[in-house]
């Protein structure tokens, strides 16, 4: 029997060429598919970033609005307390034990109201200043609060 594997134009050569051509076409198709998949993944990632950025922006706007409303409420409460303190001090008894008590209560409410009228930003500045003046005490208080919160949350589990 003659060996037909090495003869030019043989069936074996034709099969090798066909298989090689099919393999090349398969590689090209796979490369094209991978390129399309990469493009689609990139487009999806870009859309997700856009949607996430928009959602984050809306959440920031909502948080800012809520913060503004809370600050307005604190300021309004402070204004009301200050006015009530003035009224108690001015309309209450002026002399004696009751006069001293009404003056002290009125002054206390006025000072508390003035503090609250500054809003949450003013309170934050005061707390920041307090922490800067007493860093060690602030850290110890933070550790203590963290311990208490951890104990409270772990006992509920």
What per-residue confidence (pLDDT) applies to 1?
46
Is residue 80's pLDDT more than 50? yes
What per-residue confidence (pLDDT) applies to 8?
55
pTM: 0.47
Query: Region 84-97: what's the mean pLDDT?
Result: 84
pLDDT band at 157 (very low <50, low <70, confident <90, very high): low
pLDDT digits (tens, 9 = 90+) for 33-76: 878 878 877 888 888 888 888 888 888 888 778 878 888 888 88
Q: Which residue has the higher pLDDT, 28 or 148?
A: 148
CB 108 within 8 A of CB 88: no
pLDDT digits (tens, 9 = 90+) for 119-149: 777 788 888 888 899 989 989 999 999 999 9
What per-residue confidence (pLDDT) applies to 120?
77
pLDDT digits (tens, 9 = 90+) for 5-26: 555 557 878 777 787 777 777 7
Distance (Å, whole) CA 72 – CA 41 = 46
For 31-35, the CB contacts below 8 A with 24+ separation are none
Kindly list the domain boundaries of the chain, sorted by start residue: 30-155
Sequence-distant (≥ 6) Cβ neighbours of residue 74 within 8 angstroms: 116, 119, 120, 123
Q: Which residue has the tokens 């393999």?
A: 23
For every residue of the chain, which 3-state class applies, written as one string?
CCCCCCCCCCHHHHHHHHHHHHHHHHHHHHHHHHHHHHHHHHHHHHHHHHHHHHHHHHHHHHHHHHHHHHHHHHHHHHHHHHHHHHHHHHHCCCCHHHHHHHHHHHHHHHHHHHHHHCHHHHHHHHHHHHHHHCHHHHHHHHHHHHHHHHHHHHHCC
Distance (Å, whole) CA 7 – CA 4 = 5
> CA angle, 152 as apex, 147 and 153 as ends, to 5°?
100
What per-residue confidence (pLDDT) applies to 133?
92
Sequence-distant (≥ 6) Cβ neighbours of residue 121 within 8 angstroms: 71
Give the chain's mean pLDDT: 81
């Amino acid at each position: 029997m003659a060996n037909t594997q090495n003869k030019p134009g043989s069936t074996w050569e034709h099969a090798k060429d066909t298989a090689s051509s099919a393999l090349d076409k398969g590689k090209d198709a796979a490369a094209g598919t991978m390129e399309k998949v990469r493009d689609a993944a990139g487009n999806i990632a870009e859309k997700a970033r856009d949607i996430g950025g928009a959602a984050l922006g809306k959440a920031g706007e909502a948080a800012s609005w809520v913060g503004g409303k809370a600050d307005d409420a604190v300021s309004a409460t402070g204004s009301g307390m200050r006015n009530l303190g003035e009224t108690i001090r001015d309309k209450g008894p002026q002399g004696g034990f009751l006069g001293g008590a009404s003056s002290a209560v009125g002054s206390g409410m006025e000072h508390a109201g003035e503090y609250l009228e500054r809003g949450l930003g003013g309170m934050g500045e005061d707390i920041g200043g307090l922490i800067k003046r007493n860093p060690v005490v602030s850290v110890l208080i933070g550790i203590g609060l963290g311990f208490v919160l951890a104990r409270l949350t772990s006992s509920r589990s």
